[in-house]
Amino acid sequence: MTVRTRFAPSPTGYLHIGGARTALFSWLYARKHGGSFVLRIEDTDLERSTAESVNVILEGMSWLGLNYDEGPFFQTHRFDRYAEVVEQLLAEGKAYKCYCSKDELEVMRAEQMARKEKPRYDGRCRQRDLPSGEEAPYVIRFRNPEEGEVVVDDLVRGRVVFANKELDDLIIARSDGSPTYNFTVVVDDFDMGITHVIRGDDHLNNTPRQMNILRALGAEPPRYAHVPMILGEDGQKLSKRHGAASVTDYRDQGFLPEALLNYLVRLGWSHGDQEIFSREEMFQLFDIADINNSASALNMSKAFWLNQHYIKTLPPARVAEELSYHLGKLDVDPTTGPDLVEVVIAYQERAKSLAEMAQGSLFFYREFEQYDEKAAKKNLTAAIATPLRALRDQLATVEWSDGAIHQAVEAVAAAHELNLGKLAQPLRVAVTGAGVSPPIDVTVRLIGRERTLARIDRALAYIG
RNA sequence: GCUCCCAUCGUCUAGAGGCCUAGGACGUCGCCCUCUCACGGCGAAAACCGGGGUUCGAAUCCCCGUGGGAGCGCCA
């Protein structure tokens, strides 16, 4: 049997980080087994679904490199099919029309709660089939078995048993005729031949109902794998409040997709003590059996550590591709300064995010407004004016290479009986405006001769 | 309230009855390297939720408790 997995987000917002991980697991599982990964957009909630959300999800998936083999399928395009299945269930007596009003249901639930019972539909319309020609509005409910139990043999949870009497007759079609989630999922998973449903923990309780519907349709349910949820850094449920909740946020914070994927795959899944996983290794090593049972909290510092790892180890040209996005956000025209690959090489060991890298390399592309106050006060002193002037003269004629620049700084420092640092740091402040940058020779070289000389002049003027 | 799920360092996790004096990673704290910031190297502190069983032996199995979470919608 060929493995077929799916990712089925609802387009009501952004691509959630938890959703992204579920997608990753599903994608990995399909890829590992040479199967297919299907993308399905669950947009049956006409009220909340938007086209923008669909785009955000699609963009996020493509940024992460989670390529799907089929889809995106839209549930709103399949309403005829759902209606057909509803009719079938109705005809077979496996579903029935329910004329209860929302008010009536509310009262019923309130009474049940008062009796400390689980609020559930009591099936009062099971026997209330009105003769045809009725005009009262109705919904369609699935006739859930009243006896017995449903066993979910979950790939990560193990055997979970639900008593049918705990389940009620859920609505499969609204009064306007539109199908509901628990129903469309079932029809789609069935029609699309999904063999493994990998999804969030929060769906575990829905699973027995879905299995019952599936069986009513004469289908054998797929295998299920319910993965634990992802919590915010504070251990609380993830929300916009605490930190990045959407894939877009991570991108904007300067993450490389390689890093985010690696971070995500290790959240709730492990392969011994290994921390770093290339895509190929993920395909090879991923196994549902190694997924954890408990929820995991986000740890941004670890995510940044991984990000830094990839910034350091990926080909600089690859990092440069992503860097240009961040430079663009800062209104930098990359043609006004050094090659991005050079910038990446200079910064790959000193940036834990691309946003930071872009921010830190601004002085390569445009003049800085003013000196960092502390750095200028400490380094741009009257005493340094003479050596700095001498250095300027050297840099005006020296060969423009790291080695030659370094030698010039060293020579001038020695001539004035200064440690290298005593001259390098003032130079750094002069050419970058601040006390932090890549090695001084590299920094100067990338800034370029013309800009360097002008900035030293500016510093000399500042010293006065 | 009812049903279901979960529980190892601050965090991510290893651990499938003896290999555990509980391992790794991030972070934290020292020290080294050093032109700044980093990178890197070395080292340290830091956990089996509690109670009962089962067993010669339990982080690992069972039960109870406690604590967290999810579901109980004409949302997905």
State the CB neighbour count (10 A cutoff) for residue A388: 23
Q: Are A68 and A37 in contact (CB under 8 A)?
A: yes
User: Can A302 be counted among the known catalytic residues?
Assistant: no
Q: Which has the closest alpha carbon to A29: A285, A376, A341?
A: A285
pLDDT at A225: 96
Query: What confidence score (pLDDT) does residue A239 get?
Result: 65
The answer to whether the Cα torsion of A303, A308, A314, A317 is positive or negative is positive
Measured CA to CA, the distance from residue A421 to residue A413 in angstroms comes to 9
Q: Which one, of A282, A272, A288, lies nearest residue A225 by Cα?
A: A288
- Does the CB of A312 sit below 7 A from strand B? yes
Q: Report the pLDDT value the prediction gives residue A433, as an integer from 0 to 100.
A: 94
Report d(CA A202, CA A58) in Å as an integer.
23
A109 CB and strand B closer than 7 A: yes
From the CA of A266 to the C1' of B13: give the distance in Å: 8
Residue A363 neighbours by CB under 8 Å, 6+ apart: A431, A432, A433, A434, A437, A447
Instruction: Let me know if A337 is exposed, middle or buried by CB neighbors in 10 A (0-12, 13-18, 19+).
Output: buried
Contacts of A367 (CB under 8 A, 6+ apart): none
CA of residue A310 to C1' of nucleotide B33, angstroms: 23
Confidence (pTM): 0.93
- Phi first, then psi: give them for residue A42, nearest 5 degrees: -95, 85
Residue pair A265/A258 in contact (Cβ under 8 Å)? The answer is no
Cα–Cα distance for residue pair A217/A236, rounded to 1 Å: 39
**Amino acid at the residue A19:** G
* Distances from the Cα of A153 to the Cα of A196, A215, A221, angstroms: 12, 15, 11
Q: How far apart are CA A420 and CA A413, in angstroms?
A: 6
Residues of chain A with pLDDT under 50: none
Nearest to A417 by CA among A441, A384, A395: A384
Q: Nearest Cα to A154, choosing from A189, A186, A200? A: A200
Tokens linked to A129 = 């089939």
Q: Which of A118, A165, A237, A240 is catalytic?
A: A240
**The two structure tokens encoding residue A236:** 């609380």
List the Cα angle A53/A56/A58 in 5-degree steps: 110
Euclidean distance between the first and the last CA atom of chain A, given in angstroms as a whole number: 80
Q: Would you state the structure tokens that stand for residue A52, as one six-digit string? A: 């923008």
Over the stretch A4-14, which tens digit does the pLDDT of each residue have?
999 999 998 88
Q: What is the pLDDT of residue A72?
A: 95
- Report the nucleotide nearest the CA of residue A439, measured to C1': B35
pLDDT of residue A464: 80
pLDDT at A151: 94
Q: Which of residues 24-43 of A touch strand B (CB under 7 A)?
A: 42-43
Q: What is the pLDDT of residues A242-267, one digit of tens each?
A: 556 799 999 999 999 999 999 999 99
Measured CA to CA, the distance from residue A397 to residue A453 in angstroms comes to 11
Report the length, in residues, of chain A: 464
Q: What is the pLDDT of residue A13?
A: 84
A160 touches strand B (CB under 7 A): yes
A14 CA to B30 C1' in angstroms comes to 44
pLDDT value at residue A131 = 58
Q: Are strands A139-142 and A171-173 parallel, antiparallel or unpaired?
A: antiparallel
CA distance A272 to A42: 36
